[in-house]
Structure 1
Amino acid sequence: MKLVNYTSTLAVVLLIVSCATQRKLPQYLEGASNESIEKQTQFPELIIQKNDQLAIQVYSDFIPTKDPNPDLLYNQPLPGGGGAAGTGNTASNTSTASGYLVDGEGNIDFPRLGKIHAEGLTKKQLEAEIKKRLTTPVELLKNPTVLIRFQTYKIVTIGEFNSPQVLNIPTEKVNIFEAISMAGGITEWGKKDEVKVIREQDGKREMGVVDLSSATVFTSPYYYLKQNDILLIDPVKDKQEVKDETRRLSRISFATSIASTAAVIASIIITITRK
């Protein structure tokens, strides 16, 4: 029986040591309450950057006559080649059927209007600039409407994601939780309280840190992501140490379990033989 007691004591000690070595990792929104997250949502307006691909369409007050639709002169050619609806006009080098590329100088090359500086503007500001050029100093179109959408809205996820990848966002609005979910979530070793967001803005690169374990995430300027943002999640510093320790304790626990079972069987055999 002494052997059984010794083995049981050893098992209890190992269990206590195992629990002591486990590190408590932060979880999403720990301690958050409705009062701490109930704040008015403010969605930042996206700023056009170099290498963005923009879809731009122009419409105006046009009454069909014998003359061609004048709107077609200021829109890209239809996919498949040729001019816009047979006008014979083609887009320039930085304008393709898939959109207008903002070049290295921050410009787009617009049919008949020439180069227009787009970098640093919002969609509304660029729409206003194109509309201005269509109406002054000569009214090229009557009451023109300009519609712009981002065609390249991607988020890069790197590090402790279950499925790190380049995310192509179909809409122009995504928050950090949505992006993380699209990348398969964060692994058990990821630092949820230190999610890094690398962002290019005004020609400069900056990095912000978001704490997903706190309700302050909702007031962070990095809660809503922008095009070309990079999400980087580092592992906890002792990730490998913890994994090694877990494996070691698992082996010890398994060996202890076998020893305990053997001791119990031996005790039963000794008891039977004494009878």
Structure 2
Amino acid sequence: MSSSTPKLLKQITNFGFFLIAMIGGISSCVSPKSIVYFQGDSLRYSSQEITQRYVPTILPSDILSIIVGSLNAEANEVFNTPNLFTTASTNYSSVGGARVQPLGYLVDSDGAIEIPLVGKVKVSGLRTTDAADTIRLRLQNYLKEPSVIVRNLNFKVSVMGEVKLPAVYVIPDEKITLPEVLSLAGDLTIYGNRSNVMIIREENGKREYARIDLTSRDIFNSPYYYLHKNDVIYVEPVKARMLDTDSRIRTVPLIVTIVGGISTLGILILNLTK
């Protein structure tokens, strides 16, 4: 055997490993510019006028938390009884990550809630603050100096796709922006397409589809910057992710072929140099 044969075999082996590394690396390349948020000019300071925030209103099938306070603690319990939470299995996640099933006053198909002693109170179409004022006025016949706080328990948005924590998120204060809810979801993965985030919105009997570019500052002027109740956010994968997933299926037989070819070539060289 020639003294150069081991060296030649080593070179062939190294070349084979190089080809394997190249196959794995080509599909996983992601441009740094494609993952930077809110890109724009290089000024250190700039300002934008804040667009009007979305003001949600109560709709049929909403679940309301109603907290009543007055000088009569025993009477308060009559009205506060439905404001409970159960830890039963559910698809909901609070902003803190705890999974709870909301129970409260259900808004019926007529847009009203049934309050003990008071009876039905129409709340559909009202903001929660306006609903609180309406209920407080009705309670004055039963309680002395009542105070009322109303919260919508099923103001929720769904986040799915290339995020770290996909889930249905319940928003207690009824207002949230797209960047905020993506932060709750643990941010996008490295494979999330930041320039083409889809928002699905159903309102007034219509379903809307919008595409948002998180890499541009124009997002702050978008009507989809402030999320509405029941919005669905879908983060699609970049092409590199799809190629990576597809390549996992094709890479194994390819690596086997390369390794087999290298072994065959090595054996052939050994036979020729004997």
TM-score above 0.5: yes
Which position in structure 1 is the counterpart of 2:69? 59
What is the aligned counterpart of 1:178 among 166, 180, 192?
180
Which position in structure 2 is the counterpart of 1:207? 209
Q: d(CA) in 2 for partners of 1:59 and 1:130?
A: 12
Which position in structure 2 is the counterpart of 1:131? 136
On the 8 A contact 1:76/1:111 being kept in 2, the answer is no
Distance 1:129 1:238, change over 3 A: same
Structure 1 portions without partners, runs of 5+: 63-67, 81-96, 267-275
CA RMSD of aligned residues (A): 4.7
What is the aligned counterpart of 2:80 among 76, 86, 99?
76
Q: d(CA) in 2 for partners of 1:73 and 1:184?
A: 39
On the 8 A contact 1:58/1:71 being kept in 2, the answer is no
Q: Give the letter aligned to residue 225 of structure 1.
A: L
- Aligned to 1:126, the other structure's residue is in SS state helix
Q: Deviations over 1:116-152 (max 9, x none)?
A: 22232211221222234345xxx55454432112233
Q: d(CA) in 1 for partners of 2:77 and 2:243?
A: 66
Distance 1:120 1:208, change over 3 A: farther
On the 8 A contact 2:135/2:148 being kept in 1, the answer is yes
Runs (4+) off by over 6 Å: 18-21, 246-252
Larger gyration radius, structure 1 or structure 2 = 1
Q: d(CA) in 2 for partners of 1:112 and 1:218?
A: 46
Give yes or no for the alignment of 1:109 onto 2:114.
yes
| Superposition TM-score, scaled by structure 2 size | 0.62
Q: d(CA) in 1 for partners of 2:63 and 2:226?
A: 20
The aligned runs of 1:9-24 (5 Å cut-off) are 22=29, 24=31
Distance 1:203 1:119, change over 3 A: farther
Give yes or no for the alignment of 1:29 onto 2:31.
no
Q: d(CA) in 1 for partners of 2:105 and 2:82?
A: 14
Distance 1:117 1:219, change over 3 A: same
Q: d(CA) in 1 for partners of 2:232 and 2:185?
A: 12
Q: Once the 2 structures are TM-superposed, how far is the Cα of residue 185 of structure 1 from its aligned partner?
A: 2.4
The aligned runs of 1:116-195 (5 Å cut-off) are 116-134=121-139, 139-195=141-197
Q: Once the 2 structures are TM-superposed, how far is the Cα of residue 211 of structure 1 from its aligned partner?
A: 1.5
Give yes or no for the alignment of 1:46 onto 2:56.
yes
On the 8 A contact 2:54/2:227 being kept in 1, the answer is no
Which position in structure 1 is the counterpart of 2:272? none
Identity of aligned residues (%): 32
- Aligned to 1:158, the other structure's residue is in SS state strand
Equivalent pairs, count: 236
